[in-house]
Structure 1
């Protein structure tokens, strides 16, 4: 049974108007919750509340270690069309960030058909600039899970199990369960994230872990189950890039 995780890599700071905590408050919350690492991953420029590219290029001013917490520099990319295009430059992603999450947001692109979403995710699977597939259980962006999940695995992507989905996108819970089952079937790694928009949500994974534990999801497929697995993933990701 998965009881505790080492890191939370999907958090948002008050650079966005719909998030309400500073970077330091996010880091402090991670420490208070007993995490060993946290990632800062704000929305990218195509989102109405997204940060400008300069925000992501300058994340390097944040030390790698703050108050004993390992701090990773990330970004939540937006799909800007159904060909899987994203909204940060390759230079920023490759040279200034530790990882990326790629997600659909209806503030950026309204939902299309299942085939549209499937096509976008298949392109994302082949894109070396995308590391994590964000909250893909969202009901408004359903895709052909059986077709796409194995491709995520073949291309080294990690599938996010997003705690926020269980609270703000409750109709998506069954999709998340389906995705988790397929990740088990095809041995595709997942990462459990809070998608925190306020510091007190950092490290809160109750619903996501309950769902995974109900499936007897293997801990070895959870990238952030412990720091050894997380560091191994980062090391492997750098090598394949």
Structure 2
């Protein structure tokens, strides 16, 4: 059973969601999750989280409604040099960052340029996950992407929202097939994400799980049922000596 959802959004992300962090924690608990990541959009997204909102997360409880929480950000990649829309002074207080490309912040470039945007963003020590590297408008060199993820210890995401029938990034099936095959060559762990905006899809990995099953991705390389190992990779908390170290992945 998958028990971790690390890419979710509250009312602070805009997009019409009215769900608070407490609402999200209650919904995650009801779904049987053990670990929930709150990752609202960075300030370059219209009507999204402000710097003061992200600073306030430092003082937020890590346990709500019996649910263990991590606080991060889905930061926007702003250019092909991998610059992002969050200051280091704010990122230092967050648990992790998901780095993503969104059309309103960066128009598509060549395969080489798009790939460089992601790989350069990976160099930031707080960037631990690459969000939805699947958009058909942004062709990528997945072998180069996987090699960089291996080098920098970054997790590539399989985004359930992108794979859903109403996903807006095009038919991403072939992109994920190529990405997962590249990840397998490098023995990289991957993370399934709901990308839920509000409580509705928390913990829903229906299409992402189908994708990894289709390519026969090894269960030991899917992190969603390994909360303590996932926390160690993200650099959150103290490593549990009873949990196998992740160094073999990176």
Report the equivalent of 1:132.
Answer: 129
Name the TM-score, length of structure 2 as normaliser.
0.88
* Maintained 8 Å contact 2:134/2:175: yes
Stretches of structure 1 that go unaligned for 5 or more consecutive residues are none
| Residue 208 (structure 1) aligns with | 208
Matched, 1:6 2:3: yes
CA displacement, residues 87-128 of structure 1 (integer Å, 9 cap, x when unaligned): 11112112x111110000001112122121022122123222
The total of aligned residue pairs comes to: 236
TM-score, normalised by the number of residues in structure 1:
0.92
Does the C-alpha gap of structure 1 residues 16 and 155 become closer, same or farther in structure 2, counting only changes over 3 Å?
closer
CA distance in 1, matches of 2:119, 2:45: 22
Judge conservation of contact 2:97–2:129 (CA < 8 Å) in 1. yes
1:18 correspondence with 2:15: yes
**Residue aligning to 1:151:** 148
Q: Deviations over 1:190-209 (max 9, x none)?
A: 11110001202000001000
Task: Decide whether the 8 Å contact of 2:232 with 2:238 is kept in 1.
Answer: no
Task: Report the counterpart of residue 179 of structure 1 in structure 2.
Answer: 179
1:72-151 maps to which residues of 2 (within 5 A)?
72-94=70-92, 96-151=93-148
Q: Deviations over 1:59-100 (max 9, x none)?
A: 123211112110100100000111100011112112x11111
* Distance of aligned partners of 1:236 and 1:53 in 2 relative to their CA distance in 1, 3 Å threshold: closer
For structure 2, the residue ranges without an aligned partner over 5 or more in a row are: 240-246
Two-structure CA RMSD over aligned residues (Å):
1.9
Higher helix share: 1
Provide the secondary structure at the position in 2 that maps to 1:181.
Answer: helix
Cα shift at 1:224: 2.5
* CA apart distance, 1:165: 0.6
Asked if structure 1 preserves the Cα contact closer than 8 Å seen for 2:95 and 2:235, the reply is no
What is the match of residue 218 of structure 2?
A: 218
SS of 2:68's equivalent in the other structure is: strand
For residue 46 of structure 2, what is the aligned residue in structure 1? Answer: 48
Report deviation, 1:238.
8.2
| 8 Å CA contact 1:23, 1:40 repeated in 2 | yes
Structure 1 residue 19 displacement after superposition: 4.2
Larger CA deviation: 37-46 vs 10-19: 10-19
1:27 maps to which residue? 25
Shift of 1:54: 1.2
CA deviation after TM superposition for structure 1 residue 236, in Å: 7.9
